[in-house]
Amino acid sequence: MSDSTKGYGGCALAAFASCVGMSLLSFLMTVLLAPAMAARTLIAGSLDVLPQWLAFAALSLPLATGLVRLVLSKNGRVRSEPQSTRWAWTFNLGAALLGVLNVLGFVLSSATGQAGADLPVAFTAGVFGGAVLVAIWVWDRRPRPDPITVEEIRHTVAEVDRTLHEVRAANERVHQQVLQVQARLAELRAWSPPPQATGRTWHPEAGWTRPVWSDVEFRRLRVCHVESFRCADVVHAVYSSARVSLDTVSHMEQRALRGRAEARGLAGHLAWGRNQLRAEVHTGLGRVQFLNAQTHELKHEIRDTCGAPGQHWFAQLEARNAERRAIG
């Protein structure tokens, strides 16, 4: 046989294989899209070809399940499961693939007005179905997360208890600071100046202020204001850390529920701790907001009752606050 004859034979074989492949793909897409085409045929009233589409539709789910089975790895997520779970996963993935393809096929055929799986519809659905199979292939070969251990859950339970203790301590600290600020405000508002008080002074923002307190009281009020400001900053950091812990606990709780019986038992304690922690953080944030409002009132009382030193201190404080806001 000459080289030219061999060349013609190779081309003919390639053309034959291409025709067989295209015919096979066309048949596969016809079967996979049969449920959508049966629905389109029923809507169009072409009942003469409906039995043919229904027959193909009966084969569509086994075919989709078989295609999914082909892309699953022997050591992948699905096939490493027990047999009952393995086939349930395969069946569900096949049903999902079939559902996606038929929704797409129905929409495309409705847009073109065709009652059958013409070439553009079949080609588009085939490309999309191939993409879904590739996605299943990639997902199946991703490493499975390590199963959670009882020791990990117990460590998280201990962390929840510790964080809950810290948040409750922070809440109590805010509560005590609020009481202290309220006591200072009550003293300021109930104070009556002695007969030798120097009288009122004028301030461009506050107007006529009340008679001034002594320098000793002024220092005490400043210390109270600084303590309130620092208390709010410190406990707010505690609450921010607790919020991060809440996300970790929620994730660990979901993993524990999928674990062994002992792990599932500890998941109940995680759920309790998460609910308690969320409630305590909510309470604490409300107290901080109230403390900030009381601290805001305190600084204005210092300005109004401590004369020129209080006004100077207030002006410097506002300047520093404006500078911090400008920096961001």
Task: Tell whether 162 and 128 lie within a shared domain.
Answer: no
- Tally of CB atoms within 10 A around 145: 7
CB within 8 Å of 290: residues ≥ 6 apart: 178
What is the reported pLDDT for 47?
76
Query: Rounded mean pLDDT of the chain?
Result: 80
Residue recorded with tokens 């007969």: 195
Task: Tell whether 73 and 157 lie within a shared domain.
Answer: no
Task: Tell whether 59 and 163 lie within a shared domain.
Answer: no
Task: Tell whether 90 and 169 lie within a shared domain.
Answer: no
**Per-residue pLDDT at 76 exceeds 50:** yes
Point out the domain boundary residue: 123, 141, 159.
141
CB within 8 Å of 298: residues ≥ 6 apart: 181, 184, 185, 221, 224, 225, 228
Task: Tell whether 302 and 217 lie within a shared domain.
Answer: yes
What is the reported pLDDT for 266?
76
Task: Tell whether 297 and 157 lie within a shared domain.
Answer: yes
Beta strands per DSSP E along the chain: 202-203, 207-208
- Residue 207: phi, psi to the nearest 5? 80, -145
Point out the domain boundary residue: 100, 119, 141.
141
Q: What is the DSSP letter of 208?
A: E
pLDDT digit string, tens, across residues 277-287: 999 999 999 99
Torsional class of 222: left (φ above 0), alpha (ψ -120 to 50), beta (otherwise): alpha
Q: What is the DSSP letter of 49?
A: S
What is the reported pLDDT for 16?
55
Task: Tell whether 137 and 81 lie within a shared domain.
Answer: yes
Task: Tell whether 163 and 301 lie within a shared domain.
Answer: yes
What is the reported pLDDT for 200?
47
Q: Could you tell me the maximum CA-CA distance found in the chain, to the nearest angstrom?
A: 131
Residue ranges of the alpha helices (H) in 142-214? 150-190
**pLDDT top residue among 36 and 1:** 36
pLDDT digit string, tens, across residues 194-232: 444 444 444 445 444 444 556 777 888 888 989 998 999
Buried b / exposed e over 212-221, threshold 16 CB at 10 Å, is: bbeeebbeeb
- Cα 180 to chain centroid distance, Å, stands at 39
Q: Tell which residue, 89, 111, 146, 90, has the closest CA to residue 36.
A: 111
Buried b / exposed e over 27-44, threshold 16 CB at 10 Å, is: ebbbbbbbbbbbbbbeee
Task: Tell whether 133 and 174 lie within a shared domain.
Answer: no
Torsional class of 199: left (φ above 0), alpha (ψ -120 to 50), beta (otherwise): left
Task: Tell whether 209 and 316 lie within a shared domain.
Answer: yes
Domain span at 183: 150-191+199-327
9-18, 77-86, 293-302: which has the minimum mean pLDDT? 9-18
pLDDT, mean of residues 303-328: 84
- Assigned token pair, 67: 């295609």
- Cα gap 140→16, rounded to integer Å: 34
What is the reported pLDDT for 11?
64
Task: Tell whether 207 and 238 lie within a shared domain.
Answer: yes
How far CA 277 is from CA of 61, 209, 246, 267, 312, in Å, comes to 48, 45, 8, 15, 42
How far CA 122 is from CA of 16, 21, 100, 118, 143, in Å, comes to 21, 15, 13, 6, 34
Confidence of residue 17 (pLDDT cuts 50, 70, 90): low
Task: Tell whether 137 and 160 lie within a shared domain.
Answer: no
What is the reported pLDDT for 206?
46
Confidence of residue 262 (pLDDT cuts 50, 70, 90): low
pLDDT, mean of residues 122-140: 88
**What is the number of domains present in the chain?**
2
pTM of the model: 0.54
Q: Which amino acid is at 9?
A: G
pLDDT, mean of residues 145-158: 78
- Cα gap 79→86, rounded to integer Å: 6
